[in-house]
Every structure is written in structure tokens, then in C-alpha cells.
Amino acid sequence: MSKNATNSESKSLKEERYSIVEINGTLFGIEILKSREVFPLPKITPVPNTKSSVVGVFNLRGEIHPLFDISSVLGMAGKALQDTDMIVLLEKDETVMGILADRVYGVRIVGDEMIKPAQGSIPRAMVDYVKGMISDKSTEIFLLNVDRIISAIFESQFGYN
């Protein structure tokens, strides 16, 4: 096998697509395969006696899902709910939940060679939930570890993951 064929095969095998979202002014990448869909903010029903990260629940085509503000998990200030917010529906195994995003910028293909360590560029609280970062000119995009975020939220809310 030629060297060029090997290089092109290894590059194509290590590319992932990410949805680029903004949360509290910071850009994050969420693996497309971990997100079910993205949509505008529907009617939210508050849930009493829950932590501040629980925004409430919403109905999506007959299915009720919890909605979380992951800002506190990421060590950021809580996010104020706005009519222009978007929901990213995340999925891990049988668990489906929505998270709030200020904006969704689209999809980006990211090769492994583009990913750099994020430590030193992010707050300490965010380290466990970010698996790396990519830079585009002067913009940094932090790639979220969705499985860890879902586990952390459910463990803190319900005592299990």
C-alpha cells in the first residue's frame, strides 16, 4: 500500500461532525452522533423543588423531556432564559435530555489533527467535560464530552448515572 493511500485513509477515518453552539458567550462543539436534533425554545413547564440547573420539562411530539442549563456544570454563571434560545436534544443510551444554547452556528467537520488540549484555556471546573478544542483564526471552540455531561447532570439531580 502506498504512503499516500495510508495517509488519506487514516485522515478520513478520524473526522467527526460537530454542531457548534454558543452557551453564555462561549463556543462549544457537540458531536452530531450524540445529538438528536436542534430546535427553537418550546413552552417550558417548570419543575418545583429541583436544582437551578433544571429549567423544566417540555413536550416534543408527545414525548416529555427534561431541559437543563449546563452552564453550572461547566463552571459558568447560570443562563437567563430568552425567547431566542435554542434546545439541543442530547442522547446517551436510553437517556434523552435537552440543553439550552444561546445560538446554533451550524455543523463543522473536525479531524483529529485539528484537536488540541484545552487545559490552560478553560476554567478548572470545565476540564472534565471538555475533550479538546479547535481554533479558527481568533475563535476557540471547546469540544464537549456529552457522555460525561449527561452522567454528571443525572448523578447530581437523581443520585445515579
Which of 29-33, 100-104, 110-114, 155-159 shows the lowest mean pLDDT across its residues?
A: 155-159
H/E run at residue 60: strand 54-60
Using the predicted structure, report yes or no on whether residue 8 has a pLDDT greater than 80.
Answer: no
Tell me, yes or no, whether 3 lies in a domain: no
Which of 78-87, 96-105, 151-160 shows the lowest mean pLDDT across its residues?
A: 151-160
Q: Report how far residue 124's alpha carbon sits from residue 135's, in angstroms, rounded to the nearest whole number.
A: 19
Predicted TM-score (pTM) of the model is 0.85
CATH classification of the domain holding 136? 2.40.50.180
The pLDDT mean for the chain works out to: 86
Strands 103-111 and 35-40 come out as unpaired
Strands 139-144 and 130-136 come out as antiparallel
Q: pLDDT confidence of 75, banded at 50, 70, 90?
A: confident
Tell me, yes or no, whether 6 lies in a domain: no
Strands 95-101 and 63-68 come out as parallel
Containing domain of residue 135, as a range? 15-158
Cα 72 to the chain's mean position, in Å? 13
